[in-house]
Chains A and B, each alone.
Chain A
Amino acid sequence: MGFFERLASVPYLGLGISTEYGAIHSHGALDPLLVHTQHPEYVAFLEVGVEVSRGLDDVACQWAHRGLPTTYHFLDLNLDEPEDLEQRWIEEAQAIAARLKPAWFCGDAGLWHFGQRERGHMLLLPPICTDASARAQAGGIAHLREATGYEVFPENPPGQVFLGELHLLEYFARVIEYADTGFLLDCAHLAIYQRLKGYAPLHGLDSFPLERVIEMHVAGGTLRDHEGFSWIDDDHSLHVLHDTWTIFTHVVERAPHLRAVVFECERQALDAVRPGFRRLRHCLDQVQFGAPRR
């Protein structure tokens, strides 16, 4: 069955937030359950960042226990390395998914760790943007989808060093075409890339298959300087860059199958990020989604 036929069973989730192990222990951090109770229009689902070796924290467990919607965002899988999809990891990921009951799997299609999956090996780098790499990513996506039974949506990672002959969007257009799947567009990561490469925020989006965009991320970033080299730190801080909003508002109006938007602000206090939630909510209310709401 092709992706657009499978899409019929991909639920609409709306606006949500992300979390990862222990995030709630940051000073003043959002309490997902509390915000969900007070503002379900802001937090309808939880995107759970998962490292299999760490499992789920109490927040994720409580959320799942209440049967609330989730997505499974992997933080420990190099999709383009066949040897990384070891059976033991798949089984442990499946066990976690059995608790979360996520709507889908997603995650940055980059290098999450060098070498094998070991302590101290963690990092996140963008892929090498070549056709061979895109085909390998697609192979990993198809493998994970078949092994778990869940849809797997790759995300464009952040970074400061991008190599390869393809523009990042052309690269991911190939990945999702080869894998016959949907896409998680991280607007902040794309804004970082476009700025780094000297492109306008919307460069390349006109030829990108926006009908495959299923999820979007919006997050704050911080402009930093290293010896005169200015770069954006994807630190999920309060300040969402203008370019990120530009990308989001452009795509949200043109992505007919968009199912979910995540505001990545897990370590911020609600009052501080309320304006961002309002803006996202307003944007989503203005557009038509292509999937039935549940």
Chain B
Amino acid sequence: MSYHHLQRVVVRMLYDPAFVTQIFADPATALRDEDLTDQERRWLVEVDRRAYAVDPLRRARTLAALIEEFPVSVHHLVQQTGHAALLDAFFSSAYFHTCIQQRGSLAAAFSGYVLSDDLHRRSPGLGFAPVVQIETAMARLRRQRSSPEATAPSACHLLRLAPTVVFMPAPMGTLAHYQAALDVLRSDADGLMAAALKSSTLLAPQEVQGHEWLLIVWHQDHEGATIELLPEALGHLLAATPAPRPALVTTICALGADVHEANEIIDDLVADGVLYAGGTDA
């Protein structure tokens, strides 16, 4: 299967001129971590190196797809750093190269890059991690299209969050900020993508005390997600998953409900597709 590794190296070269330069200067060193034969390394540099760069818009096209999924994250990155070039630099980052070589998800790699320590060291004070986490969760759900096969709840199964939902804690006010920011970008006369790249308009999220619980739910019927702000008690319950049903009943009762009410709450969450019963692992 070596040809797959070789082809992935080609993809990386098509996106990253700096990588091309490294390979043409010293293929053995530049490709020391790749499972390639000497012959395959030679093939890479027998090509006219200019052939790797005939499509100057390749990065821009791919970046456009990422901005569509991460508009608020991108906007905050551009706004807070003042460097739109940081977006382009993603394609020279280890996140991008590892993603391609390991057949990963570009959205996940981009999220990792935007949240990376390296980026935050270069631009101290960045404060938009919660919105990146929201958009990352939505990107993940968009790719998780099928619902789990439901099994009847029973005491011997763990109840866990369905793969069509993401539950996350966030600083207080995150959801309101995110939705307001998205509304502003979507209503921009130049379109969402152009708006995301403008270094203006939005206030950065404020650091506040306290937290809120968010539930992001993917709706397959209209291929979209909704974000719900959960009551504190429900947040505590979902934070306790995965867990056996009796343990969740105990958790709910500790919050003030009786056993009957606790079971009803759990049944409702199962019926709504938030929880499902399955698996026996911890």
- The 8 Å CB contact of A115, one of B40, B47, B53, B105, is B105
Q: Please encode chain A, from 116 to 131, with 1 for each CB lying within 8 Å of some chain B CB and 0 for all others.
A: 1011110101011010
- The 8 Å CB contact of A118, one of B4, B11, B52, B105, is B105
Task: Place the interface of chain B in its size category.
Answer: 35 or more
Shortest beta-carbon distance, B149 to chain A, in Å? Answer: 14
Residues in B lying within 8 Å of A, measured CB to CB: 1-4, 6-8, 10-11, 13-14, 39-40, 43-44, 47-48, 50-54, 58, 62, 65-66, 68-69, 99-100, 103-107, 143, 145-146
- For window 179-234 of A, CB contacts with B under 8 Å fall at 196, 224, 226-229, 231
A161–B105 CB distance below 8 A: no
A40 within 8 A of B: no
A114 within 8 A of B: yes
B65–A115 CB distance below 8 A: no
Shortest beta-carbon distance, B164 to chain A, in Å? Answer: 15
- With A111-B11, A114-B11, A161-B51 in contact, is A132–B3 under 8 Å at CB? yes
Give A130 to B54 CA distance when docked, in angstroms. 24
Q: Please encode chain A, from 90 to 123, with 1 for each CB lying within 8 Å of some chain B CB and 0 for all others.
A: 0000000000000000000001001110111101
Residues in A lying within 8 Å of B, measured CB to CB: 80-81, 88, 111, 114-116, 118-121, 123, 125, 127-128, 130, 132-133, 136, 160-165, 196, 224, 226-229, 231
A163–B11 CB distance below 8 A: no
B44–A163 CB distance below 8 A: yes
A120–B103 CB distance below 8 A: no
B52–A161 CB distance below 8 A: yes
A164–B100 CB distance below 8 A: no
* 7 more A-B residue pairs beyond the given contacts A115-B103, A118-B143, A136-B3, with a C-beta to C-beta distance below 8 A: A88-B145, A115-B104, A116-B103, A160-B51, A161-B10, A224-B54, A231-B51
Shortest beta-carbon distance, B112 to chain A, in Å? Answer: 14
B105–A116 CB distance below 8 A: yes
Give A247 to B6 CA distance when docked, in angstroms. 30
Shortest beta-carbon distance, B178 to chain A, in Å? Answer: 21
- The 8 Å CB contact of A81, one of B4, B52, B62, B105, is B4
Chain A residues in 8 Å Cβ range of B107: 118-120
A125–B10 CB distance below 8 A: yes
Instruction: Provide 30 A-B residue pairs closer than 8 Å at the C-beta atoms, listed in order of the A residue.
Output: A81-B4, A114-B103, A115-B99, A115-B106, A116-B103, A116-B105, A118-B105, A118-B107, A119-B65, A120-B62, A120-B66, A123-B14, A123-B58, A125-B10, A125-B14, A127-B7, A132-B1, A132-B3, A133-B3, A161-B10, A161-B13, A161-B14, A163-B40, A163-B43, A164-B3, A164-B43, A165-B39, A224-B54, A226-B54, A227-B53
Chain B residues in 8 Å Cβ range of A123: 11, 14, 58
For the residues of B in contact with A, the DSSP-based class is helix
- With A111-B7, A115-B105, A119-B65 in contact, is A228–B50 under 8 Å at CB? yes
Shortest beta-carbon distance, A178 to chain B, in Å? Answer: 15
Give A160 to B4 CA distance when docked, in angstroms. 18
Chain A residues in 8 Å Cβ range of B52: 161
Give A133 to B52 CA distance when docked, in angstroms. 21
Shortest beta-carbon distance, A102 to chain B, in Å? Answer: 25
- With A161-B51, A228-B50, A229-B48 in contact, is A128–B11 under 8 Å at CB? no
- The 8 Å CB contact of B3, one of A88, A120, A128, A229, is A128
Give A160 to B105 CA distance when docked, in angstroms. 25
Give A161 to B2 CA distance when docked, in angstroms. 17
Shortest beta-carbon distance, B6 to chain A, in Å? Answer: 5
B65–A120 CB distance below 8 A: yes
- The 8 Å CB contact of A163, one of B47, B48, B68, is B47
Give A119 to B108 CA distance when docked, in angstroms. 12
